Amino acid sequence: MSVVLNQDAEEHPTTFCYQVNGSCPRTVHPLGIQLAIYLACAAGMLTTVLGNLFVVFAVSYFKVLHTPTNFLLLSLALADMFLGLLVLPLSSIRSVEGCWFFGDFLCHLHTYLDTLFCLTSIFHLCFISIDRHYAICEPLLYPSKFTVRVALRYILAGWGLPAAYTAFLLYTDVGERGLRQWLKEMPCVGSCQLPFNKFWGWLNFPMFFFPCLIMISLYVKIFVVATRQAKQISNLSKRLAGATKRERKAAKTLGITVGVYLLCWLPFTTDTMVDSLLNFTTPALVFDIFIWLAYFNSACNPIIYVFSCRWFRKALKLILSREIFSLRTATIDLYQE
C-alpha cells in the first residue's frame, strides 16, 4: 500500500500546494481551461482598471465636474481602480491554482488591501447617498451643507476608518487571541487564510449591513421626494427645472449603483457569515464565484455611468478623440444639452 501511495505522489506532484504536512490541495485544471480562466480574470482586471481610470481622469480634468458629489465619485473610483491593480492579480493566481505562493507578508498585505478597498467602496457609497439626500430633500440648504470641504472630510473618513479597522484586525493579536478558543483547526499551508478569517464574515457583516441599511433608507426617502418633485417640476422656471432634473437623474444613477453593489456583495457576505455555522461546507468553486462576483462590482460603476450619465459619455468621447489636448476642453460644460 505504501508503495502505491508513493507512486501516486510521484505521478501527481502538484496535488498539494507544498510538499509538507498539512499542505492545502492544489486545484489542477487542463491547460486550455486554465488559460481561459486567466484570460477572463485579465479581462476583468483590465476593465476595472481602465474604466475607473477614465472616471478619475474625467473628474480631475474637466472643471465643471469639480463638485462635492463628483469628488466622492473620484475617490470611489480610486478604490476600485486600486483593487483591480493591486489585489486582483494575486487573487487570480490563488483562484486558478488554489494556492498562495507569495509568503506570509504578502498574504497579510493582500488581505489588508482587499478588505480596505472593499470597505472604502461601501463607505463612499453611503456618503454619496447622504449627499444625494441633501441635494434632493433639502435643495435650498444643500449648497451650504455639502461643500467641497465637507466632501473631503467624508473622503478622509471613507479611507481612514476602513484602514484603521482592517489594520487593527490584521496586525494586532487582539482578534486572534479573542477567537483562538473558538477555532477547531488551523488553516492548511498555502491557503492565505489567517486564523481568524473563519470569523471574518461575522466581523465584517456589521460593516456591510449598517451602511447598506442607511443607503436603502435614504434612497427610499429620496425616491418619495423625487416623485413628488416630478409632479411639481412643470411649475418651475426652465433653469431651475433643468437643475432639479439633473439632481434627480444623478440620484437615480447612484441608486442603480447601490443596487448593483448589493447584488454583487450580498452573496459573498451572507455566505462567509453562514458558512461558519455549517462547518464551512461551501464548495471552493462556489466560494470563488462569490468572491469574483463581489470583485466584479468594481468594474460595474463606470459601465453604469456610460449608460446613465450624459456627462460621462461626453467626457469619454473627448478623451478618446484626443480633444483633451486642447486648452479649452477642460472648461467645456459637459452638462449642456
For residue 226, pLDDT beyond 80: no
Query: Worst-scoring range by mean pLDDT, 14-23, 74-83, 133-142, 179-188?
Result: 179-188
Query: Across all residues in the chain, what is the average pLDDT?
Result: 79
Predicted local confidence at residue 235, as pLDDT = 55
Read off the pLDDT band of 301 (50, 70, 90). Answer: confident
The pLDDT assigned to 330 comes to 80
Res 239 pLDDT > 60: no
Q: What single string gives the DSSP state of each residue in 59-127? A: HHH-GGG-SHHHHHHHHHHHHHHHIIIIIHHHHHHHHHHSS--SHHHHHHHHHHHHHHHHHHHHHHHHH
Looking at per-residue confidence, does 185 or 282 come out higher? Answer: 282
Question: What mean pLDDT comes out for the span 92-103?
Answer: 86
List the one residue out of 77, 212, 68, 79 whose CA is nearest residue 154.
Answer: 68
Maximum average pLDDT range among 175-184, 264-273, 295-304: 295-304
Closest CA to 145 of 127, 131, 126: 131
Instruction: Report the share of the chain in percent with pLDDT over 90.
Output: 23
Asked whether the predicted pLDDT for residue 100 surpasses 60, the reply is yes
Q: Where are the domains of the chain?
A: 40-177+207-331
| pLDDT range class, residue 237, cuts 50, 70, 90 | low
Average pLDDT estimate for 318-327: 79
Of residues 10, 16, 225, the one with CA closest to residue 139 = 225
Angle at the Cα of 294 from the Cα atoms of 96 and 201, rounded to 5 degrees:
95
pLDDT in tens, 121-143: 989 988 988 888 888 888 888 88
d(CA 177, CA 196): 9
Asked if residue 2 has pLDDT above 50, the reply is no
What is the average pLDDT across 253-278?
Answer: 79
Confidence of residue 233 (pLDDT cuts 50, 70, 90): low
Query: Cα separation of 270 and 291, whole Å?
Result: 12
d(CA 60, CA 288): 35
Per-residue buried b or exposed e for 258-297, using 16+ beta carbons within 10 Å of the residue's own CB: bebbbebbbebbebbbebbeeeeeeeeeebbebbbebbbb
Tell me which of 277 and 32 has the higher pLDDT: 32
**Of the CATH numbers 1.10.3720.10, 1.20.1070.10, 3.90.550.10, 3.40.50.2300, which one belongs to the domain with range 40-177+207-331?**
1.20.1070.10
What distances in angstroms separate CA 300 from CA 45, 90, 297, one per listed residue? Answer: 12, 21, 5
Has residue 242 got a pLDDT over 60?
Answer: no
d(CA 227, CA 207): 31
C-alpha cell at 238: 426652465
Question: pTM for the whole thing?
Answer: 0.83
Q: Give the integer Cα–Cα distance in Å for 115 and 109.
A: 10
Query: How much is the pLDDT for 272?
Result: 76
Cα separation, 197 vs 114, in Å, equals 13
What are the tens digits of pLDDT across the range 200-212?
Answer: 666 667 777 788 8
DSSP class of residue 189 equals B
Count the alpha carbons within 13 Å of 136 in the hemisphere toward its beta carbon: 29
**Residue where the block lists cell 476595472:** 48
